[in-house]
Amino acid sequence: MNALWDNAAFLAEGLALSLGLTVIGVLGGLSLGTALAALRLFGGRAGGAVVDVYVFAFRAVPLILVIFWFYFMVPLILGRPVGAFASAVVAFVLFEAAYYSEIIRGGLASVRPGQMNAALACGMSRVAALRYVVLPQAFRAMMPVFLTQAIVLFQDTSLVFVVSLHDFLTAAAIVANRAGRLVETYLLACLVYYLVCLAATAAVAKMRRSAP
Amino acid sequence: MITFERVDKSYGDRPVLREVSLDVRQGEVVVVCGPSGSGKSTLIKCVNALEPFQSGTIRVGETVLGRGSLDARALRRRVGMVFQHFELYPHLDVMENLCLAQRTVLKRSRSAAEERASALLDRVGLREKCSALPAQLSGGQQQRIAIARALALDPEVMLFDEPTSALDPEMVNEVLDVMTALAREGMTMMVVTHEMGFARRVADRVVFMEDGAIVEDCATDVFFGDPGKLSQRAQRFLSKVLPH
């Protein structure tokens, strides 16, 4: 127990990195993913093709490869080193956006086309129909998948060890080996993952209840 | 009030409307019937520009649909529509369903919109359901709310697209009663329906369609009272839908 206590700050730093990457990944991925979904909806055939290629490119390869790749790519493009964290952020946002755009597409498709027609028939503009009628329903349908995606992302932050970042699990592994306390450390790691997952689930349930 | 002039529409190579010409006068109730796939629903969805068509013109009051630009939203404000599957907004309660377009389209104040909505809920006999969600209502109740929602915008014309075909038989009449009252008040109505009893009692004219074309267009008493004058196809249809 002492070994864990002594390393609490180190573990907390790892947890902060994991949570930070998750939050940036979700917000950035959601923004870019929404833009991609809009491009697919309103961008005609060419826009749809661009999104198809994008989604295919990121879904076909494992995340760990994307992280690794951007670690070398981003400095090449910018002409200067950007550090492991920045390149990891870019990799996460671009990777998540591919998944979010598909989730949003599925959510919009889950709303019956008659709903759009009913809103249009009342004289509402397409934008108003989306905002007041289609999107609120799509958003509700998407919430559980958003939650799953965020939890998977939180777990996947452990992959940043390939660019020598210390996320929570990497930090725990270092502590476990250094102190020779494998069972206790990994039990604690497990507990932390459960707590984060529980908190996220509770937050989403609250949002679903209070959604307009 | 509504005039179709040689309207043609096709999906790719498949024609769905062929040279449709039709005239609906103000205050008239026209029932459109015919076998499924004959183009009835497409026909009335052309009236409020939910379905585009390739040639011909449709006039609704002053508005002309067809060539050139068109403000579909201004037209739709004046034309109410009731759908086969109700299409109430499931995430909003009854009052919000009735107020949404009043607020966003007509820019009415909340109190003015709610006042209009309450009056209409009274009229369809569902005042006490104003804070219910659509999923908590029966099909017949949902369709009566949907009619009230369309009326909330004070339309000049009402379109009904098979308003009772998704209902259990015991709920059909409550919806037809609301429609009958509306017709008696002089609303201009185009109704796609298989309810021949309603057509006989309420319609001024009956239009029979087959394969995208209007085969019969005659006064209600002629359509039901003198079937010998109708085409073979209309007679066959009538013999199937009328009780023996």
CB contact under 8 A, B87 and A115: yes
What CATH number is associated with residue A56? 1.10.3720.10
Cβ–Cβ gap B153/A123 under 8 Å: yes
Average pLDDT, chain A: 89
Strands (E), chain B: 2-11, 14-24, 29-33, 55-60, 63-65, 79-82, 157-161, 188-192, 205-210, 213-219
Residues B114 and B99 sit within 8 Å (Cβ to Cβ) = yes
Pairing of the two strands B55-60 and B63-65: antiparallel
Reduce the DSSP state of residue B159 to 3 states and report it.
strand
Judge whether residue B207 has pLDDT over 70.
Answer: yes
**Given CA atoms A94, A99, A103, A106 in this order, what sign does their dihedral have?**
positive
Q: Is B211 left (phi over 0), alpha (psi -120 to 50) or beta?
A: left
A88 min Cα distance to partner chain B (Å): 39
Q: Range of A13's domain?
A: 2-210
Residues of A in contact with B104 (CB under 8 A): 124, 128, 132
- What does each C-alpha distance from B15 to B37, B54, B216, B233 come to in angstroms? 11, 10, 19, 19
Does B89 contact A118 at a Cβ distance shorter than 8 Å?
yes
How far does CA B98 lie from the centroid of its chain? 18
A115 at B interface, C-beta within 8 A: yes
Q: Is B182 exposed, middle or buried (0-12, 13-18, 19+ CB in 10 A)?
A: buried
- Find which of A122, A127, A140 to mutate to test the B interface (most B CBs within 10 Å of its CB): A122
Question: A79-91, pLDDT tens digit by residue?
Answer: 888 888 988 999 9
Please write the tens of the pLDDT for every residue from A21-78. 999 999 999 999 988 988 888 888 999 999 999 999 999 999 999 998 888 888 888 8
Mention every residue, 6+ apart, whose C-beta is less than 8 A from residue A116.
A126, A129, A130, A133, A134
Contact B17, B8 (CB under 8 A): yes
Contacts of A119 in chain B (CB under 8 A): 89, 101
pLDDT-derived band at B184 (thresholds 50, 70, 90) equals: very high
Q: List the single range of A26-40, A197-211, B46-60 with lowest mean pLDDT.
A: A197-211
Cα separation of B231 and B227, whole Å? 8
Q: Which of A36-40, A68-72, A115-119, B228-232 has the lowest mean pLDDT?
A: B228-232
- Across the interface, whether the CB atoms of A112 and B87 are under 8 A apart is answered yes
Cβ separation B100–A121 shorter than 8 A: no
pLDDT score for B33:
92
Structural domains in chain A (count): 1
Indicate yes or no: CB of B48 within 8 angstroms of CB of A121: yes
Query: Which two structure tokens, joined as six digits, stand for B123?
Result: 């009229």
CA distance A110 to A143: 13
Residue A203: pLDDT band with limits 50, 70, 90: confident
What pLDDT was estimated at residue A78?
83
Distance CA B160, CA B183 (A): 12
Instruction: Pick the closest to residue B140 from B122, B119, B164, B161 (CA basis).
Output: B164
